[in-house]
Structure 1
């Protein structure tokens, strides 16, 4: 099992840093070069990685990964339901809008995005993985997870990404209590310094958080007096997505 997890982490690192050499991978992951080489060739034989020849051969992810999509990205369902609410939220706020899903392992993954028309804007790529405890989309989901899942995360490692990150479990519990009370999460630069966001959970028919939607902006456009307005718009978009998705069955 540990060998499988190690191999998957190599695959994830290639996806993050591609194109990348064996030596660079081995150094980043503190693994023997021979072990990394063996893992890379295994994924290559399976069709998941490809080798770019040259003076220093480098590895990239194969297009085969496009054939493996989570249900959230499949036609219809959540993917279809987010389009109109995302556009309305972006047009109302003029800020970048993201929809993310929980990966079940302490992180959220961006599955859709609409960019702000402002020349200076916060942009993360689709597929970007971010910690659930320090992002607006993450905290919006985290606050409404079943108690056992919530405690597993709160009692685990809460990594710090800058001095603003909430890493104390009790402080994070208090923050999540406020999220539940007002219906949306506020990220005051907890993950990336200078990037602020407001996110709301998207619920399924059983009132379980299946995703979240947020607006993200540089701190130069973040104003405390607009939080209630932005929060209400974000919650409205999340509710519209949930309603449409559940109506589709």
Structure 2
């Protein structure tokens, strides 16, 4: 076979991307999956899905039921997650976030930027029966998230941040879909120190967020979110003050971890 007609060699990056697709499919499934289901959900061939799943299971990143032969997330991920939480400071942040939830009566999230999305790293549910939950591990678009606005407003030039997003899809009739309007909103966030998501992603849900800063740069953001009938305009100032206090508590512990000598 000539060089021109030879199939392109698989790259290491491609293999990693495929492995991540398999793990993400299992994360989102909520139940073990067989190879045929994995192949369908990841758009991989059955042979590729089988090879990826077996390799990941051999390393403990997946676990296979010996009877059903279905796969689920594996025990090695537990250890990795615990170490990541420790080194990123998330385990040290949780007590303060739980206190914030108790003080405000609402659900709390801590998020970081992942491309054009906010990745929810920590979640503390509200004690109220009527509440809004954004579970850890989920992602939401930056431009329709209070945490996202903080992460955009407090990293670099606002114009550059907004232009890097490209189009701004509408999620609800209150979503900001114009770059000029989003830039103005981010300038306001930078000026007053907190952001609001006023039913821009979920009707009937309002969120307030502040950046968690290292110097003048946001390394994360934290948000209080709940039904608009409880998170009313007259509460915004008090909630923002509680968020700012909590951000100051957790900021020193977030970020790179250095093991004690």
Calculate the TM-score normalised by the size of structure 2: 0.77
Q: Distance in 1 between matches of 2:83 and 2:219?
A: 11
Residue 15 of structure 1 corresponds to which residue in structure 2? 27
Name the count of aligned residue pairs: 243
Residue 40 of structure 1 corresponds to which residue in structure 2? 53
Q: Distance in 1 between matches of 2:165 and 2:144?
A: 12
What's the offset of the Cα at 1:244?
6.6
Match of 1:27 among 40, 64, 76: 40
Match of 1:171 among 161, 177, 181: 181
- For the 8 Å contact 1:185–1:199, the answer to whether it is kept is yes
Q: Deviations over 1:73-120 (max 9, x none)?
A: 216845324523x244323321112222334x2333333333322111
What's the offset of the Cα at 1:203?
0.7
Give SS of 1:220's match.
Answer: coil
Q: Distance in 2 between matches of 1:102 and 1:79?
A: 19
Match of 2:108 among 81, 85, 97: 97
Q: Distance in 2 between matches of 1:78 and 1:50?
A: 26
Alignment of 1:65-144 (within 5 A): 65-69=77-81, 73-74=85-86, 77=89, 79-81=91-93, 83-84=95-96, 86-103=97-114, 105-144=115-154
> Kindly tell me: are residues 169 and 35 of structure 1, through their superposed partners in 2, closer, same or farther at Cα, counting changes over 3 Å?
farther
What's the offset of the Cα at 1:210?
1.2
Q: Is 1:215 aligned to 2:224, yes or no?
A: yes
Q: Distance in 2 between matches of 1:60 and 1:71?
A: 21
Q: Which structure 2 segments of 5+ residues have no match?
A: 1-12
- For the 8 Å contact 2:108–2:124, the answer to whether it is kept is yes
Q: Distance in 1 between matches of 2:92 and 2:199?
A: 30
- For the 8 Å contact 2:211–2:247, the answer to whether it is kept is yes
Match of 1:193 among 199, 203, 210: 203
Q: Distance in 1 between matches of 2:55 and 2:92?
A: 36
Match of 1:237 among 246, 251, 254: 246
Q: Is 1:181 aligned to 2:194, yes or no?
A: no
Give SS of 2:128's match.
Answer: coil
Compute the RMSD of aligned alpha carbons.
3.1
Calculate the TM-score normalised by the size of structure 1: 0.81
Give SS of 1:36's match.
Answer: helix
Q: Distance in 2 between matches of 1:166 and 1:117?
A: 31
Q: Distance in 2 between matches of 1:76 and 1:43?
A: 25
